[in-house]
Structure 1
């Protein structure tokens, strides 16, 4: 069993070291690789990632979804794990999540950041936006999850051929959940995690990205 951890980055020198350090226990239990898909960082993100044993792939084409598609295509694992490189997700709990994933015969696992969210980890504006997007997803696709925008997933790589993933941008996060949860042949669940304040400066453009995600939900549903 090989595990691939795919991490998209852009100027995450403050968080990538912590993230990769917390992932080390996986290598004691599995044949694991860490892939950092970098969108053109101007800081030491790539250098630090390589020092910590990660394979760095530079993706010059812009987009959150594009970074993941590139990472998935380069990954060699039977199971793929994703997360951001800013230390906001509990990388230290990844091994436990993988074991839970396997023991329960799960195909796709997404996480709920509101299970235990630290103060300051998410602004009120982001919480409201996420709530709206999650509610709209439920209404349009009948998917009952609590966090439509979480970026930490665990899934079998073999599922990718079953998922119709078109977005190259931020909507990729909601799209992969829609595709997985709406496929009756895929056992999908959501599991709560601890979520904390990121290291470094946030890259998300709240209004622009939120509106893009909202429009994409309707576009996917009706076209």
Structure 2
């Protein structure tokens, strides 16, 4: 693994007074002398406790985990590698070596797979279902399987992070990072980790329904440039099916009961036409994207030969 002197441990926090002290101690005991706590304006004693345990503390300029990570890496970290974890005590500092090792093997981004060894009670059934659906959807859209794209335990080079186009402010940041790694072709490794139950007295900042919706929307939005056939095609299919259903209703009403529905007929026709057009646009966009990728591969091949 990289020398700890080349690594900054990043802990984004918000109201983690119950766990941040032990978390900081755990990483410092593993030999990491630069532990950065990026605080989102906690109302408890998170910042004071973190400082008492030897962490470097910065207050982010705006709220949200995504904002904390972007601001920390770009403004407060100058070391070569970043080891990122949550400050809630659910990740084991003892597995830092495992997380960092792939960076010495040519990988630039490492994701810890929580499902490899998940402690009972560490994740609710609703969260498990949501995580699995998100991972399957990601794999379908982007053609990559990172096993656990929502994991908060990550290691990456600062240079690779600068290549990621990130804009999410909240918990959608992990999804964005995974999408960008797939899109930019950043060598990404997945390693098994242990995911622990939150310690007593520690409350989660995650809201499953709200944050889950944000994550799914982020996946769908990012598909526009990664898989346009899915992006436009899925909307086209929905529009076409809705139009066909309306058209079927109009036809039944007309032929069976003799009741005309001119307005609904126009709505059905519009839905079908829009669906067909979106499907065609998706196919054309996918063709353009494929040709673009082939051209980039040729340019890289020529550059390597020179």
Give the TM-score range, shorter chain. Answer: over 0.9
Partner secondary structure for residue 25 of structure 2: helix
Q: TM-score, normalised by structure 2?
A: 0.68
Partner of 1:10: 14
Indicate whether 1:195 and 2:195 are aligned: yes
More helix by share: 2
Pairs aligned (count): 218
Q: Determine whether 1:23 maps to 2:27.
A: yes
- Taking a change above 3 Å as real, the CA distance of residues 96 and 111 of structure 1, as seen in their structure-2 partners, is closer
- How far the C-alpha of 1:187 sits from its partner, in A, is 1.7
Aligned to 2:264: none
What is residue 90 of structure 1 aligned with on the other side? 92
Once residues 77 and 102 of structure 2 are traced to their aligned partners in structure 1, the CA distance between those partners, rounded to angstroms, is 19
Q: Judge which range, 129-138 or 117-126, deviates more.
A: 129-138
RCO higher in 1 or 2 (8 Å CA, sep ≥ 6)? 1
Q: Distance in 1 between matches of 2:62 and 2:187?
A: 32
Alpha-carbon shift at residue 60 of structure 1 (Å) = 4.3
Number of the residue aligned with 2:216: 214
Separation in 2, partners of 1:62, 1:123: 25
Query: Which residue of the partner structure matches residue 163 of structure 1?
Result: 164
The answer to whether the 8 Å contact 2:30/2:94 transfers is no
For the aligned residues, what is the CA RMSD? 1.5
The alpha carbon displacement at 1:45 in A equals 0.8
Q: How does 1:60-99 map to 2 (within 5 A)?
A: 60-73=61-74, 74-98=76-100
Q: What CA distance in whole angstroms lies between the structure 1 residues aligned with 2:97 and 2:29? A: 7
Moved over 4 A (4+): none
**Cα distance in structure 2, aligned partners of 1:189 and 1:24:** 25
Unaligned ranges ≥5, structure 1:
none
